[in-house]
Structure 1
Amino acid sequence: MKDIPAIDLKGDAHMHDGQLGDAERLKALARTGVMDGPGPGAHQRAARIAARLLDVPVSLVSFVDDTRQYFSAHVGLEGDVARESGSGLSHSLCQYVVKSQEPLIVTDAPKDPRVCNNGAVRDLGVVAYLGVPIRSPDGHVLGSFCVIDRKPRDWCEDDVEHMLDMAAMIESDIRLRETLEERDIILQEMSHRVRNLFTIINSMLRMERRTHDTADALAESMGARLKSLSDAHEMIVPVVNARRSTGTTTTLDALTRKLLAPHGAENETHITISGEHVPIGAKAAVYLTLALHELATNAAKYGGLSADGGRLSISWRQTDDDIVEVSWEETGFERKTNAEPRTGFGARLLSIAIEGQLAGQIKTQAGPDRFQRKLRIPLQRLQS
Structure 2
Amino acid sequence: MTAASSKIVLPQSKTVQASETYARFAAVLVCVIGEVVLAAWLGIFPADAMPSLVGMPPTAALGVILAGLGLVCFTFRRIRFAARLIGVFLTLFGLLLLGQGALGLDLGLDTFLIPNELLPQAGAPPADETLPSAALVAARISPGILCALILFGVALLYAENARAVPSVLSQVLTLVLLAQVLLVVTGRAYGVNMSGDPFPFMRLTAYGVLSIVLLATGLIAASPERGVASAIFEQSPAGEMLRRLLPGILAVPPVLGWFARQAEIHTLYDSAAALVIFAVASIVVLGVFAWTALGAVRRADSGRQVALMDLRGQREWLSTTLGSIGDGVIATDPSGSVLLLNRVAEDLTGWAAAEARGRPIWVVFRVVDEETRKPVDDPALRALREREVSRMEAGALLLTRDDKELPVEHSGAPIIGQDGSLAGAVLVFRDVTERRRTAQRQTMLVGELNHRVKNALAIVQSLVQASLRQAKDPTTQAMARTLAERLRALHRAHDLLLESQWSGASLKAMVERELEPYRREGGPKVVIKGSDVLLPPQCTSILAMTLHELATNAVKYGALSQNSGQLNVAWKSQRGNRLLLVWEEKGASSVPKASGRKGFGTQLIDQGIRHNLGGETKTEFRKAGLYVELNVPLKPSNEPRAKAEPAQAPAA
Range of TM-score over shorter length? 0.3 to 0.5
Higher RCO, 1 or 2 (CA under 8 Å, sep at least 6)? 1
Hey, which of these two has a bigger chunk of strand by percent? Answer: 1
TM-score, L = length of structure 1: 0.36
Taking structure 2 as the reference length, what is the TM-score of the superposition?
Answer: 0.22
Q: Which structure: greater helix fraction?
A: 2
